[in-house]
Amino acid sequence: MHGQGHKGIALLLYSPITYILLEAGRPILAIGGLVTILFLSMLPDKDMVIALLPHRGPTHTIWFAVLVGLGLAGLGVGIQYGLDEIGVVAVAVPVAFLFFVGFCSVLFHIVGDSMTPSGVRPYKPISSHKHALGLTKSGSFIGNWAFYLLGLVANGVAVAIALQQHFLV
């Protein structure tokens, strides 16, 4: 799957989270999480520019998702600690949320690649079972843009429903 498709899958799968966070009165987390997931949505495909890594190999596993989640959470803790040390009061972002966003950014990418005939092996090396739904080819213009538009609509609907409940009587 290409960039538009991965961003669309991320938008689609994040839309319930958008709704939940907006309903909980946490719009900054909703927006920040979405922006971060979109920013990281192509991270697993960096394996294509690293000669030692096969495409859809280690970076397309749940283990890599855990690693990215831990890395993002650690970055958040480090930034918060650094700001505390110099006396700057910052808005604290829950570490668990940072882990969740990092984990989901890779998980959503894996879900996108599982839609293709090539599929992924997300539990390797524990299991070599291949997940391949074959709904669309990786390079399909229509498939990638369909997921992108579906994701935009899903997130738009999530925002509209959440806002409607707050502003309409």
Q: 95-141: per-residue pLDDT in tens?
A: 899 999 999 999 999 999 999 999 999 999 999 999 999 999 999 99
Of 133, 122, 120, 20, whose CA–CA distance to 62 is shortest?
122
Residue 94: its pLDDT value, please? 86
Assess whether pLDDT exceeds 70 at residue 92.
no
Q: 16-67: per-residue pLDDT in tens?
A: 999 999 999 999 999 999 999 999 999 999 988 888 888 888 999 999 999 9
Assess whether pLDDT exceeds 80 at residue 83.
no
Residue 102: its pLDDT value, please? 98
CB 107, CB 65: distance < 8 Å: yes
Annotated domain spans of the chain: 3-167
β strands within 64-150, DSSP E: none
Annotate 23-53 with b (16+ C-beta within 10 A) or e (fewer).
eeeeeebbebbbebbbebbbbbbebeeeeee
Alpha-carbon distances of 71 from 17, 75, 77, 100, 126, rounded to whole Å? 21, 6, 10, 11, 22
Rounded-to-integer distance, Cα 168 and Cα 158, Å: 15
Residue 91: its pLDDT value, please? 61
Assess whether pLDDT exceeds 60 at residue 169.
no
Token output for 108: 């959503």
Half-sphere exposure of 79 (CA within 13 A, CB side): 13
List the end-to-end C-alpha distance of the chain, in Å, as a whole number.
Answer: 42
Residues 6+ apart with CB under 8 A from 85: none
Dihedral sign for Cα atoms in the order 57, 63, 68, 74: negative
Q: 129-168: per-residue pLDDT in tens?
A: 999 999 999 999 999 999 999 999 999 999 999 998 777 6
